[in-house]
Amino acid sequence: MGSTDKLAQPNEAPRHHVTLDPFWIDKTEVTNAQYKQCVDAGVCEEPREKDSKTRAAYFDNPAYDRFPVIHVTYYDAERFCTYYGARLPTEAEWEYAARGPSGKQYPWGSVQQVYWANIANWKGDTFWAGVLSRDRSYFGVMDMAGNVREWVYDWFGNYLEDDVNNSEGPESGNAKVIRGGGWLSSVNTARSAARGAATPNTSTDYLGFRCAADAVTE
């Protein structure tokens, strides 16, 4: 986990080993339609805004049902995942799902490709979840380089140098980790080791989430 290559930011160091128990992770980012089911059930709160960057009607518009939900806080994301018997992925789980066992720089490999993911303002807004086939990780997880940035479980902090089992990050903090690139992100931010942070009550038009769960073994 982590990176020290020429594109890496200081907060990506040191490279270190993390051992993870088996887990599941959503193939795509949570969509408007999926989130609306939780809202209709009276569990989730509606997104803080109903629009997107270029669309006055987004969340309530059926034309964008399969686009990722945005304008949700960390707490909104956590509540949604819990309702469905899941949780937010840890930062370590997210990075492993994006990089695969060989530690790829991007979900698809080591070569920068602006038009393989919804990044660098290419689409100018969010896009269909899971349809850009080249933004696909070793495990078949979609949109980990682009579309929207994603909340994960951990508080933001420095990495530990020692081997860690099922790392969940610091016990407390002021900001939560966000992972992956979004439609407005630079190509460098789309690298699978890149890290971001935001206070838990933040909600923006380029930030969403996906859920994870412990794998049930017999």
pLDDT one-digit tens code per residue, 177-207? 999 999 999 999 999 999 999 999 999 999 9
Rounded distance between C-alpha atoms, residue 93 and residue 116, angstroms: 23
What CATH number belongs to 1-218? Answer: 3.90.1580.10
Nearest to 208, CA basis, from 180, 189, 169, 187: 180
Q: Which two tokens stand for residue 34?
A: 């999926």
Give percent of the chain with pLDDT exceeding 70.
99
pLDDT tops 70 at residue 1: yes
pLDDT in tens, 12-42: 999 999 999 999 999 999 999 999 999 999 9
**Average pLDDT along the chain:** 96
Please report, for the chain, the start and end positions of each structural domain, with discontinuous segments joined by +: 1-218
* Positive or negative: CA dihedral 136, 110, 7, 193: positive
pLDDT at 210 over 90: yes
User: What residues have CB less than 8 Å from 166, skipping those under 6 apart?
Assistant: 18, 19, 20, 21, 90, 92
What confidence score (pLDDT) does residue 128 get? 98
